[in-house]
Amino acid sequence: MSNIKMIHGDCMDIMKQYPDKYFQLACVDPPYGIGAGGGIGGDKLGKVKRYKNGEWDFSIPKAEYFKELKRVSVNQIIWGGNYFIDYLENTPCMIVWNKKNGTNYFADCEIAWTSFDTAVRMFEYMWQGMLQGDMKNKEQRLHPTQKPVALYKWLLSRYAKPGDKILDTHGGSGSICIACHDLGYDLTWMELDADYYAAACERYRIHAAQALLFEPKPIAYNQGEL
């Protein structure tokens, strides 16, 4: 069973509490410095989704963040790697998320830098306004830079091993919490914004409670019945 630790606070202060290489994998989505927030989406299929405005995406993390992240983790997957080139060394393994956006002004894909010495890989999953790759299990959008649970499950299944401890320093909507819960990974998750922290915790609480309802219950037999 997974252990999901959700912390409200500054990741720089929290990471200082952990020893070197404590986490096997850091899977993070720091601010890209592009001013995300306010209204996202909106077309003939749906209205613009309004999010809380804030200054959290006006700038990218400083060099100290990336240094500390690499200190506490063995390997890293860093979304928005194309925005942080000055702080990251060359790597053979970038991950491309093809969002299958079609023809609109949003980016066709997002890119993650990784510390792995493997080939470039691509994950295809529609994330276009109200349209999602799995409409039967459509996710409520809580955060302007929210990523789908399916993306995190794909990453964990390929770049983590059973028993690994996972770190997320910029938690956002909490999608990775659900992925780690379902796949059985221990996760330490952090979010600075109080409103997004509360929303993500509630999202995870509801998912975990529903998952528990559908877990198979053990059947007790009296001795000699089988």
Structural domains in the chain, CATH included, are: 4-214 (3.40.50.150)
**Residue 185, CA distances (Å) to 16, 42, 163, 169 in order:** 22, 35, 7, 16
- The pLDDT of residue 223 is above 70: no
- The pLDDT of residue 220 is above 80: no
Q: ∠186-109-129 over CA atoms, to 5°?
A: 85
Q: What is the pLDDT of residues 182-212, one digit of tens each?
A: 999 999 999 999 999 999 999 999 999 987 7
- The pLDDT of residue 57 is above 80: no
Instruction: Name the nearest CA neighbour of 71 among 22, 7, 112, 116.
Output: 22
**Residue 143, CA distances (Å) to 18, 36, 128 in order:** 28, 10, 14
- The pLDDT of residue 36 is above 80: no
Of the ranges 14-28, 62-76, 123-137, 171-185, which one carries the lowest mean pLDDT score? 123-137
Check: CB of residue 189 under 8 Å from CB of residue 171. Answer: yes
pLDDT of amino acid 150? 96
- The pLDDT of residue 42 is above 60: no
Q: What is the pLDDT of residues 129-187, one digit of tens each?
A: 778 888 888 888 888 889 999 999 999 999 999 999 999 999 999 999 999 999 999 99
Strands (DSSP E) found in 9-142: 23-28, 39-40, 49-50, 73-79, 94-98, 109-114, 121-124, 127-128, 131-132
Band (213; pLDDT cuts 50, 70, 90): low
pLDDT of amino acid 218? 42
Check: CB of residue 153 under 8 Å from CB of residue 178. Answer: no
Check: CB of residue 197 under 8 Å from CB of residue 13. Answer: no
Instruction: Give the residue, 42 or 20, on which the prediction is more confident.
Output: 20
Q: What is the pLDDT of residues 92-130, one digit of tens each?
A: 999 999 998 876 667 899 999 999 999 999 999 998 877
Instruction: Name the nearest CA neighbour of 11 among 23, 2, 3, 39.
Output: 23
Instruction: Give the residue, 46 or 74, on which the prediction is more confident.
Output: 74
Longest dimension (CA), the chain: 69
